[in-house]
C-alpha cells in the first residue's frame, strides 16, 4: 500500500497533473484514450470507471500526467466512486482540470463547473457529444460561454476525434473561471466565519466552507487530518448554528443557489432549433424500457444472446476447436512429442494423461471456454455500448424493489454476467454499504459470469428449451428468495433510485474489438494458470489415490442428496478455483454421456450457485473485508447443494423429463 502511494508521488511530482472530471457517462474515458493513447474501458452506462487511470501526454516539449476519474454528479460525494474524484481535487490539487461535458445537458454540466470554479482550480471546459446535441436541436453559443466563464471552451465529438486538436492546445491556456455564486447573506456570513478557521489547502477555503455547511460527511477524515479536534468542534458548532438560524435545510439552499446560477448561464447561451435526427434510436430507447413493450424487446435480446453464445459459440465453435483442432491435431501431436521426448512416465501422464495439463487444462481452457467466452464478450460489449443495460435496470426496478433493493443495484448484477469480479467493484456506485453487501452476496451466489454462463448455455442448448427455462427459473427463485431474506437481515437504509439513462447508440466496432481483445487477454492470463493448477491438483490427488477417497467422502452430498455420479466431485473440486472450469468438467461429462439429462440440469444449477471463484473471493475481501467474504462462502456453499438437491428431488419425484 505504502510503496504504491510513494510511487504515485514520485511519478506525479515530476509532471504537472491534469484531471479529467465530469458527470457520469459523458466520454471522459474516450477523451483520456485520445489524449494518452491508453485504452481504458468505455461503455454506454454511468459508472464504467470506478477507479482512476493514469497516463502521460506531452505538449510543446512539456510532459503532463493525466488521470481519468469516475463520473460525479456533484463534488459533495454520495458514493464511493464519487468520493475518489472529489479526493483528487481535495488532496492532490491538479494543475488543470479538463471538465468533459455532455453538450446535451449544459445545466448539469455547469453545476459542476461552478463547484470547480469555487474551488479555485484552473480548468478548461470540453463540450463533448456535440453530435448528439445537434441531433436534438441544442445549439450552444460557445463564444458567449467563454466570455461568461472566462475559461477555454472547446467542443468535441470524441469517438470521431473531432475538436481534439483544439482540446489539446486548450490545455496550454488554463484559467480559473471568474464566475462566482452568491449565496443568501446569512450563508455568506457563515462561509466567512468558517473560512477563517480553515487551513490553507489544495482548494479554496470558500469551497471547503460550503462543503462543511452542506454537511459533507466524507470531509470528516480530511478535516481530522488537518485540524485539531477543538477546531472541528467549532466548525460543527458554526454549521449547526447556521442551520438553526436558517429556516430551510442549508444543504438544499446551497444546492438551489447553484442550480439557479447554472440555469441562468444556460438560458443565456443555449438556443433550441427543431431536432434534426436520431428519431429511430430515441424510439428504440423508449420501447426498450416500456413496461409492456420492453418485455418482447428483452426476449429478443435474450434469444439473440442464446443463439450467438449458446448455439454458435458453445456449439459450432467449440465443436471445431475441441474435435478438430485439439482432438485431431494438438492432443495427438502433443502425445507423440511427449512420448518421444519425455522418458519419465509420471511427467508424461502429467502432461497428456487422464488429468494432463495439455489434454485437460489446455483443452478445457482453449477449446471449450475460450470460444464461448470470446463470443459472450463480443455480445456483451455490444450490449454495453448500445445503452440497453441501464434500460434493463429500469425495467427490473419494480421486481428488485420487492427485494428491498433499488434498480441501480441491477446494473452491477447485469455486469456480473460479464465478470463477477468487476461487478463487485462496480457496486461502488451504490450509495449504501447495505446495498453493496447484498449485491456482492447475490453476485457470489447466483450470478454466473460470462465464462460460466457460456458453458452452461452450451450444455443447455444440447438439452432442451424446457431445461433452459427450468434452469433460469431455479436461479431466479434462489436469487429472489435469498435477496429478499438478505434485505431483511442486512441492516441499513434503503436508498432512492436514480440512474441516468444514456441514449441508445450504435456500438462502435473498434471499441468492441479492443474491449473484447482486452477481456480475452485478461481471461487467458487469469484463468489459464488456475486451470493448470486445478488440473495438477486433480492429477496429484489421482496419483495419491486420494481422488477416490474424496469422491467417497463427498458422495452423501453429491450422490445421495443431489443425485449425481461420483465423478462430478472432480468438477466441483475444479469449481473451487473457478466456477467456469467446474462447468467445463460437467460439459465434457455430458458430452461423453456420463450424465443423464436430469443430472446435467441439476449439476448445472448446483455449479451456477457454487462458491465464488478465487478472484471474486479476493475482491470481496478487498472491498468488504475478510469476515464478510468468509461468511458469504459459508452461506453460499451449502445453499448450492441444497438447491441442487431440491431440484433433483422435484424432478425425480414428479418424473419430469427434460
Ligand atoms: N455520440 C457520441 N458518443 C460519445 C461521444 N463521446 C463518448 N461517447 C460515447 O459515450 C459513452 C460513454 O463514454 P465513456 O468514455 O465511457 O464515458 P465516461 O465519462 O468515462 O463514463 P463513466 O466512466 O461511467 O463516468 C460511450 O458509449 C462512448 O462511445 C461523443 O462525442 N458522441
Ligand atoms: Mg469512464
Q: Ligand 1 centre and the CA of 68: distance in Å?
A: 13
Q: Which atom of ligand 1 is nearest to the CA of 33?
A: 15
Cα(505)–Cα(525) distance, integer angstroms: 31
Judge if the beta carbon of residue 25 lies within 6 A of ligand 1.
Answer: yes
pLDDT at 498: 65
Q: Which residues contact 272 (CB under 8 A, 6 or more apart)?
A: 137, 138, 139
Taking CA atoms only, the protein residue closest to ligand 1 atom 30 is 129
| 343 alpha carbon – ligand 2 mean position (Å) | 54
CA angle at 338 for the pair 336 and 342, rounded to the nearest 5°:
135
Tell me the backbone φ, ψ of residue 595, rounded to 5 degrees. -125, 135
Please give the distance, rounded to the nearest whole angstrom, from the Cα atom of residue 501 to the centre of ligand 2.
Answer: 15
Give tens-digit pLDDT for 279-291.
888 899 999 989 8
The sign of the torsion formed by the CA atoms of 466, 471, 302, 39 equals negative
CA dihedral 594, 458, 316, 518 (to 10 degrees): -130
pTM summary value: 0.83
Give the pLDDT score at 6: 42
Ligand 1 proximity of 132 Cβ (cutoff 6 Å):
yes
Residue 278 contacts residue 132 (beta carbons within 8 Å): yes
Residue nearest atom 2 of ligand 1, based on CA coordinates: 129
Q: Which ligand has the minimum distance to the alpha carbon of residue 511? A: 1
Pocket test for ligand 1, best of 20, 25, 53, 385 (most atoms within 8 A of CB): 25
- Give the cell for residue 477: 427463485
What per-residue confidence (pLDDT) applies to 2?
39
Q: Starting from the CA of residue 512, give the closest ligand.
A: 1
Q: Is 26 in the pocket of ligand 1 (CB under 6 A)?
A: yes
Per DSSP, the residues of 599-648 read: HHHHHHHHHHHSPPPHHHHHHHHHHH-HHHHHHHHHHHHHHHHHHHHHHH
Cβ 28 vs Cβ 68: under 8 Å = yes
* Ligand 1 atom closest to the CA of 26, numbered from 1: 19
> From the first residue on, what is the mean pLDDT of each consecutive set of 10 residues in the chain (658 residues)?
41 75 96 93 84 91 93 88 92 92 96 95 97 92 96 96 95 92 94 91 91 89 89 92 90 93 95 82 90 92 86 88 92 91 90 89 88 89 92 83 76 84 84 87 90 85 89 94 88 67 91 92 87 91 91 92 93 88 90 93 94 86 92 94 95 90
Q: Are strands 16-22 and 123-128 parallel, antiparallel or unpaired?
A: unpaired
Atom of ligand 1 nearest to the CA of 25: 21
Top mutation candidate among 19, 27, 32, 80 for ligand 1, by most atoms within 8 Å of CB: 27
User: Is there an atom of ligand 1 within 6 Å of 48 CB?
Assistant: yes
Q: Which residue has the cell 451504490?
A: 430
User: From ligand 2's centre to the CA of 20, what distance in Å?
Assistant: 10
How would DSSP label each residue in 416-442?
A: HTT-HHHHHHHGGGSS-HHHHHHHHHH
531: exposed, middle or buried (C-beta count within 10 Å: 0-12, 13-18, 19+)? buried
Let me know if domain 185-272 sits in CATH 1.10.287.1770: yes
Q: Does the beta carbon of 24 sit less than 6 angstroms from any atom of ligand 1?
A: yes
287 C-alpha to ligand 2 centroid (Å): 27
Q: Which pLDDT score is estimated for 457? A: 83
CA distance linking residue 494 with residue 95, whole number of Å: 39
How far is the CA of 326 from the CAs of 227, 285, 335, 371, 558, in angstroms? 66, 44, 11, 13, 31
Enumerate the domain spans of the chain: 2-170, 185-272, 294-653
- Give the helix ranges, DSSP H, for 41-184: 80-87, 106-119, 130-135, 142-149, 164-170
DSSP alpha helix (H) spans, 181-311: 185-197, 205-213, 220-226, 229-245, 250-269, 279-287, 294-305
Mutate to test the pocket of ligand 1, among 22, 30, 156 (most ligand atoms within 8 A of CB): 30
Q: From the centroid of its chain, how far is CA 202?
A: 31
Contact between 441 and 486 under an 8 Å Cβ cutoff? The reply is: yes
3 state SS of 57: strand
Give the span between the Cα atoms of 566 and 572, in whole angstroms. Answer: 11
Rounded Cα distance, 327 and 335, in Å: 11
Q: Which of 223, 167, 160, 219 lies closest to 197, judged by CA? A: 223
What distance in angstroms lies between residue 128's CA and the mean position of ligand 2's atoms? Answer: 14
Give the torsion through C-alpha atoms of 347, 351, 355, 360, to 10 deg: 170
CA of 278 to the centre of ligand 1 (A): 17
Measure 463 CA to ligand 1 centroid, in angstroms: 40
DSSP assignment of 149-211: HTSEEEE-BGGGTBTHHHHHHHTTS-B---------HHHHHHHHHHHHHSPP-SS-HHHHHHH
Question: Is the distance from the beta carbon of residue 42 to the nearest atom of ligand 1 less than 6 Å?
Answer: yes
Alpha carbon distance 101, 459 (integer Å): 45
Give dist(CA 471, CA 464) in Å, integer. Answer: 11
Determine the Cα–Cα distance for residues 73 and 107; give it in Å rounded to an integer.
12
Which of 26, 39, 47 has most ligand 1 atoms within 8 Å of CB, for mutation?
26
Q: Is residue 488 within a helix (H) or strand (E), and if so which, with residue range?
A: helix 465-489
Backbone angles phi, psi at 23, to 5 degrees: -65, 165
Q: Is the CB of 33 under 6 A from ligand 1?
A: no
Which ligand is nearest to the Cα of residue 33, counting in written order?
A: 1
Ligand 1 site, residue 162, Cβ cutoff 6 A: no
Three-state DSSP at 96 gives: strand
Ligand 1 pocket test, pick from 158, 161, 499, 510 with the greatest ligand atom count within 8 Å of Cβ, gives: 158
What is the number of residues in the chain?
658
| pLDDT digit string, tens, across residues 157-205 | 999 999 999 999 999 999 999 998 999 999 999 999 999 999 888 899 9
Separation of CA 43 and ligand 2 centre (Å): 8
Ligand nearest to the CA of 26: 1
Class of the CATH-defined domain 2-170:
alpha beta
Question: Residue of the nearest CA to atom 23 in ligand 1?
Answer: 49
Q: Are strands 96-102 and 138-140 parallel, antiparallel or unpaired?
A: unpaired
- The reported pLDDT for the residue numbered 5 is 42
Amino acid at each position: 500500500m505504502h510503496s504504491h502511494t510513494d510511487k504515485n508521488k514520485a511519478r506525479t511530482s515530476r509532471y504537472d497533473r491534469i484531471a479529467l472530471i465530469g458527470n457520469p457517462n459523458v466520454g471522459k474515458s474516450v477523451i483520456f484514450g485520445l489524449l494518452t493513447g491508453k485504452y481504458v474501458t468505455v461503455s454506454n452506462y454511468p459508472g464504467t470507471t470506478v477507479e482512476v487511470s493514469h497516463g502521460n501526454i506531452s505538449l510543446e516539449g512539456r510532459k503532463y500526467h493525466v488521470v481519468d476519474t469516475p463520473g460525479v454528479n456533484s463534488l459533495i460525494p454520495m458514493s464511493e466512486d464519487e468520493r475518489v474524484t472529489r479526493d483528487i481535487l481535495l488532496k492532490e490539487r491538479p494543475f488543470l482540470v479538463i471538465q468533459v461535458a455532455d453538450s446535451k445537458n449544459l445545466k448539469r454540466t455547469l453545476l459542476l463547473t461552478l463547484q470547480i470554479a469555487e474551488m479555485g482550480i484552473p480548468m478548461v471546459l470540453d463540450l463533448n457529444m456535440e453530435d448528439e446535441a445537434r441531433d436534438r436541436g441544442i445549439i450552444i453559443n460557445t463564444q458567449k460561454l467563454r466570455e461568461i466563464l472566462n475559461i477555454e471552451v472547446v467542443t468535441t465529438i470524441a469517438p470521431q476525434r473531432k475538436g481534439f486538436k483544439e482540446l489539446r492546445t486548450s490545455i496550454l491556456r488554463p484559467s480559473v473561471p471568474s464566475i462566482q455564486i452568491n449565496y443568501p447573506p446569512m450563508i455568506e456570513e457563515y462561509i466567512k466565519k468558517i473560512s477563517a478557521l480553515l487551513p490553507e489547502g489544495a482548494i479554496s477555503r470558500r469551497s471547503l466552507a460550503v462543503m462543511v455547511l452542506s454537511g459533507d460527511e466524507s470531509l470528516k477524515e480530511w478535516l481530522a487530518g488537518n485540524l485539531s479536534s477543538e477546531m472541528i468542534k467549532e466548525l460543527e458548532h458554526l454549521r449547526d448554528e447556521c442551520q438553526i438560524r436558517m429556516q430551510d435545510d442549508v444543504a438544499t439552499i446551497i444546492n438551489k443557489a447553484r442550480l439557479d446560477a447554472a440555469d441562468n448561464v444556460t438560458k443565456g447561451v443555449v438556443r433550441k432549433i427543431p431536432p434534426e435526427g436520431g428519431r429511430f434510436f430515441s424510439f428504440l430507447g423508449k420501447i426498450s424500457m416500456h413496461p409492456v413493450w420492453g418485455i418482447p424487446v428483452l426476449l429478443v435480446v435474450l434469444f439473440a444472446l442464446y443463439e450467438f453464445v449458446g448455439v454458435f459459440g458453445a456449439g459450432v465453435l467449440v465443436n471445431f476447436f475441441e474435435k478438430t483442432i485439439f482432438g485431431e491435431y494438438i492432443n495427438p501431436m502433443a502425445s507423440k512429442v511427449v512420448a518421444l521426448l519425455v522418458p519419465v512416465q509420471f511427467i508424461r501422464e502429467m502432461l497428456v494423461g487422464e488429468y494432463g495439463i495439455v489434454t485437460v487444462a489446455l483443452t478445457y481452457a482453449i477449446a471449450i471456454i475460450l470460444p464461448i467466452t470470446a463470443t459472450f464478450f463480443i455480445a456483451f460489449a455490444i450490449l454495453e455500448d448500445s445503452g440497453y443495460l441501464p434500460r434493463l435496470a429500469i425495467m427490473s426496478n419494480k421486481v428488485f424493489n420487492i427485494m428491498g433493493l433499488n434498480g441501480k443495484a441491477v446494473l452491477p448484477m447485469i455486469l456480473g454476467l460479464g465478470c463477477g469480479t468487476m461487478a463487485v467493484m462496480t457496486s461502488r456506485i451504490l450509495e449504501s454499504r447495505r446495498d453493496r453487501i447484498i449485491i456482492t452476496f447475490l453476485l457470489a451466489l447466483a450470478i454466473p459470469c460470462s465464462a460460466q454462463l457460456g458453458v452452461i448455455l452450451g450444455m443447455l442448448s444440447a438439452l432442451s428449451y424446457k431445461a433452459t427455462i427450468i434452469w433460469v427459473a431455479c436461479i431466479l427463485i434462489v436469487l429472489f428468495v435469498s435477496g429478499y431474506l438478505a434485505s431483511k437481515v442486512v441492516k441499513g437504509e434503503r436508498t432512492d433510485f436514480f440512474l441516468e439513462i444514456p441514449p441508445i447508440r450504435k456500438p462502435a466496432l473498434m471499441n468492441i474489438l479492443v474491449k473484447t481483445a482486452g477481456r480475452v487477454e485478461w481471461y487467458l492470463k487469469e484463468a489459464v494458470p488456475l486451470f493448470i493448477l486445478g488440473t495438477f491438483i486433480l492429477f496429484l490427488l489421482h496419483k495419491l489415490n486420494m481422488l477416490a477417497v474424496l469422491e467417497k467422502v463427498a458422495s452423501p452430498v453429491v450422490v445421495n442428496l443431489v443425485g449425481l455420479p461420483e465423478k462430478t466431485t472432480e468438477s466441483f473440486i475444479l469449481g473451487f478455483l473457478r466456477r467456469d472450469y467446474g462447468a467445463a468438467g460437467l460439459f465434457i461429462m455430458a458430452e461423453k454421456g456420463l450424465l443423464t439429462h436430469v443430472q446435467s440440469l441439476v449439476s448445472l444449477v448446483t455449479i451456477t450457485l457454487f462458491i465464488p471463484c478465487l478472484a471474486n473471493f479476493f475482491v470481496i475481501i478487498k472491498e468488504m473485508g475478510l469476515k464478510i467474504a468468509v461468511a458469504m462462502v459459508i452461506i453460499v456453499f451449502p445453499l448450492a447443494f441444497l438447491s441442487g438437491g431440491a431440484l433433483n428431488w422435484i424432478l425425480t419425484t414428479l418424473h419430469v423429463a427434460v
